[in-house]
Amino acid sequence: MGSSQSMQKDNFVNQANKFYSNKSQSYSVELWQQGENDKIIYDETITPQGVLSHTHEFGGMPVFQKEVQEGWDMVKVKTPEDGGTRIMDTDGDLAVMAFMPAGFRDGPTPNKINPFREEIGNPVGDTPNKCAASLCHVVTTPINIKRYNTITCDSSDIPLLNELDRIGKEACITLINGKDDMIGSLRWHLKQDDKITMKDGREVNTKLLDTDFVDSRTFIKLQSDGFDSVIDEIIHSIETTFHVGESASVGYLHSHTRPTCFDLTSRENMDKQASENGYVKETLLKDVVDFIVCEEFMKVKEGDEGNEGDELVRTKTAPPKIG
């Protein structure tokens, strides 16, 4: 195992240890994942990271949960025609939806899409997470299956993880090939050159610059030599990653798929911020699949490292009001 994968594995197991050391938390998540409870609340009022506070109408639920999506319009992932960033969804046992990261409220971005320039979304330097990680960045999440995070998955979830990857890549390619009037498409990005006024009064330009990218070579070649000159390079650079444990801002399994040749400086700063906080921001799909079946992780998850005999408190929850 290479040093990078070894570091990733250590991070995965460490994040699992942190999560499963709180037995009430892990048990409440287990009941939720199994469908016995519709909320994740333990000790009467406590919710895990990335889950709505117990005082909220949808308290104990993450924003991607189906009941929240159907009942709370402000966070609903809508189609572009309805003011959202949803690209596609599927049905069946492994139904998923794919969309562009959105919810930005510090300035007038189209359909509240997360900005692609740090001058817009991270002007001070401490909010890179308000930005997209790359051009054509896609988030994909299950519609019906409830999973909190990759560290609460097991080998039976590998088909779901692969489906998130498959649909995420299909949605990403849709953006790469989209017309210039499709919000978030590659061609749409190339024609952005407007001034917008932020809530703090700053006036900023939406035009992408070479300095907005970690490595600007593909972006420069795209502009000078055209789309066909870089399409293979773009497609081959697409990766799917997951935010493991503490690195996930939403407590509901979701993947991030993006053409890494268009990684933005915000992605680099997200990685730096995560490292300063003691964890890894991005973990590749292939590594997640390896880690959820590795012996070290299974020992943690099965409680084989000294947690025998702990009493777990079951928390009953009432269904939310919808509408």
* Spans of all domains in the chain: 80-300
User: What are 99-126's pLDDT values in tens digits?
Assistant: 999 999 999 999 999 999 999 999 999 9
Please count the other Cβ atoms lying within 10 Å of the Cβ belonging to residue 281. Answer: 25
User: What confidence score (pLDDT) does residue 314 get?
Assistant: 52
80-88 — which CB contacts under 8 Å span 24+ positions? 80/111, 80/182, 80/183, 83/111, 83/112, 84/111, 85/111, 85/112, 85/113, 85/183, 85/184, 87/138, 87/171, 87/174, 87/175, 88/167, 88/170, 88/171, 88/174
Q: Is the pLDDT of residue 25 over 60?
A: yes
CATH, domain 80-300, list 1.10.3470, 3.40.50, 3.30.428, 1.20.1050:
3.30.428
* Segment 201-228 mean pLDDT: 97
Given a contact cutoff of 8 angstroms between Cβ atoms, the answer to whether 164 and 240 are in contact is: yes
User: What confidence score (pLDDT) does residue 5 get?
Assistant: 84
Q: How far is CA 92 from CA 34, 87, 109, 276, 321, in A?
A: 18, 18, 33, 41, 26
User: What confidence score (pLDDT) does residue 287 get?
Assistant: 97
User: What are 64-77's pLDDT values in tens digits?
Assistant: 999 999 999 999 99
Rounded Cα distance between 168 and 36, Å, is 29
Q: What is the pTM of this model?
A: 0.93
5 or 140: which leads in pLDDT: 140
Q: Is the pLDDT of residue 315 over 70?
A: no
